[in-house]
Chains A and B, each alone.
Chain A
Amino acid sequence: MSRIFLMLIRRDLLLARKQGGGSLLSITFFVLVVSLFPLGVGPAPETLERIAAGTIWVAALLSVLLSLDRMFQADLEDGSLDQLALLPLPLSLVVLAKTIAHWLTTGLPLTLAAPLLGLLMQLSPDAYGALIAAMLLGTPILSLIGAIGAALTVGVRRGGVLLTLIVTPLYIPVLIFGVSAAEAAAQGFSYSAHMLFLSAILSGAIVIAPIAAAWALKLALD
């Protein structure tokens, strides 16, 4: 069972590599959105420093949102979703494997790119550790909650817009704790409470999201 699970993650990583562009597109979008802010609010370093963490998080959230609609849609379109549902593995674990692969190709690269954007946005040097730690905990949550939205809207007309509408409100706690962790660190406060909240949400999401998404996927298969 765990062999199949790992094989499934490798499958999605292989497909992401072969079909190409997925991660690169997300990162490009991420950088693009962040670089809009200095153009929008002006390049004054103190202004940028003030909004740096928030901007980076909002942009990361949007990049993840943008990548979600392909999570199950491609497999539905070519009939692979049927084959995945018929693996001798519970559908919720299939979802979890695909979510992990999604995070490895989206959330993780975004987290790795974040320090670079921190430089562009004059992020306070004290905040880098908190930003990356919070993103490492927070972006998997985005993938997990996103999986529910993606599963609910797979095969639905105008699914992409609907997906955004459904998922964005559910992302708010991650945004709040993620940004305030970096802000606390910038002001020299401890950010361990933020990390604990993010960990708590992550643990809850790991349990609930695959099950809810599997329920939703069954609707698309029926």
Chain B
Amino acid sequence: MHRFANPTRFLRLAAAVLPFSAAVAALCLGAGLVWGLFFAPPDYQQGDTVRIMFIHVPAAMMAMGVYAGMAISSGIALIWRHAVADLIAKASAPIGATFCFICLLTGSLWGKPMWGTWWVWDARLTSMLIMLFIYLGYMALWQAFDDQTKAARAAAILALVGAINLPVIKFSVEWWNTLHQPASLITMSGPKIHASLLWPLLLMIVGFGAYYLTVLIYRVRAEIHLRRTRMLRLAQADRHAAMQAAE
């Protein structure tokens, strides 16, 4: 566990992984988009609008997946005082929030032709909206502390509390939705995806995952450098204080 707590070791590992994740992201996203947008057949019911799914579904999956990753690294950070895990959680949040936002945006774009309105309080979209709020709260909590160690611990506690709450929220929103929505609505994404759509979708999902990993590595790396800068500045202030005390 502690092997990767050492930032230097993490940086070395990151440097090795980065070219691969970047290449996989570029290849999969490129191929998936071209395949999905130009070659995959239109849906017999939804026509070309179904192509929004190639962005919408991976974004939704990643929004949830990134939160899960954030919660796990927060747990590791809390229990083992693992410094890099804190940074992974911190760096993940804006990426996850962006996925969340993309999911909402594409959902809304998809809603216009399908439901004739830009926004429908559909159970999935509503859960996603709440998740975006939770991401934003998490990010705001990080910002609120000057002391990074405290910020990390507070944010980790919130991430875990959020992780416990999210299934309850999701369940309650679905419950609420069945009460208030006529059941005849077409639900977005389901098991009834045709195989010709499945492959480009899979490519896009892998691409989104690799993209997340790539951006995550960049962000964590920047955080580590930022912390080192801060350490040096603190040391400079301390040295000055020590010199003044000696005089």
B160 to chain A: closest residue by CB:
A212
Would you call A222 an interface residue if the criterion is a C-beta within 8 Å of the partner chain's C-beta atoms?
yes
B140 to chain A, nearest CB (A): 6
A172–B158 touching, CB < 8 Å: no
A156–B144 touching, CB < 8 Å: yes
Interface centre among A162, A166, A168 (most CB of B within 10 A): A166
Would you call B136 an interface residue if the criterion is a C-beta within 8 Å of the partner chain's C-beta atoms?
yes
CA distance A63 to B173 in the complex (A): 23
Q: Among the listed B153, B158, B175, which residue makes an inter-chain contact with A166, where contact means beta carbons less than 8 Å apart?
A: B158
A173–B150 touching, CB < 8 Å: no
Would you call A219 an interface residue if the criterion is a C-beta within 8 Å of the partner chain's C-beta atoms?
yes
Would you call B157 an interface residue if the criterion is a C-beta within 8 Å of the partner chain's C-beta atoms?
yes
By secondary structure, the A interface counts as: helix
CA distance A177 to B165 in the complex (A): 14
CB neighbors of B among A156-211 (8 A): 156-159, 162, 165-166, 168-170, 172-173, 176-177, 180, 183, 197, 201, 204, 208
Would you call A13 an interface residue if the criterion is a C-beta within 8 Å of the partner chain's C-beta atoms?
no
B141–A152 touching, CB < 8 Å: yes
CA distance A159 to B165 in the complex (A): 22
B141–A173 touching, CB < 8 Å: no
B179 to chain A, nearest CB (A): 6
Q: Among the listed B136, B140, B169, which residue makes an inter-chain contact with A173, where contact means beta carbons less than 8 Å apart?
A: B169
A176–B157 touching, CB < 8 Å: no
CA distance A172 to B170 in the complex (A): 10
Size bin of chain B's contact surface: 20 to 34
A170–B154 touching, CB < 8 Å: no
Would you call B172 an interface residue if the criterion is a C-beta within 8 Å of the partner chain's C-beta atoms?
yes
Would you call B41 an interface residue if the criterion is a C-beta within 8 Å of the partner chain's C-beta atoms?
no
- A170-B161 contact, Cβ under 8 Å, with A156-B144, A176-B173, A180-B179: yes
- A216-B164 contact, Cβ under 8 Å, with A165-B140, A173-B172: no
A69 to chain B, nearest CB (A): 13
Q: How many residues of A contact B (CB 8 A)?
A: 28
A212–B176 touching, CB < 8 Å: no
B172 to chain A: closest residue by CB:
A173
B144–A215 touching, CB < 8 Å: no
B172–A169 touching, CB < 8 Å: no
CA distance A152 to B162 in the complex (A): 13
Q: Binary interface profile of B, 107-134, with partner A (CB < 8 Å = 1, else 0)?
A: 0000000000000000000000010011
B145 to chain A, nearest CB (A): 7
A201–B168 touching, CB < 8 Å: yes
Would you call A153 an interface residue if the criterion is a C-beta within 8 Å of the partner chain's C-beta atoms?
yes
A152–B157 touching, CB < 8 Å: yes
CA distance A204 to B140 in the complex (A): 26
A192 to chain B, nearest CB (A): 14
- Chain B contacts to A: CB under 8 angstroms: 78, 130, 133-134, 136-137, 140-141, 144-145, 150, 153-154, 157-158, 160-162, 164-165, 168-169, 171-173, 175-176, 179
**15 other A-B residue contacts (CB within 8 Å) besides A148-B157, A170-B134, A183-B179:** A148-B158, A152-B157, A152-B158, A153-B141, A153-B144, A162-B137, A162-B144, A165-B140, A166-B137, A166-B158, A170-B161, A173-B165, A204-B164, A215-B78, A215-B157
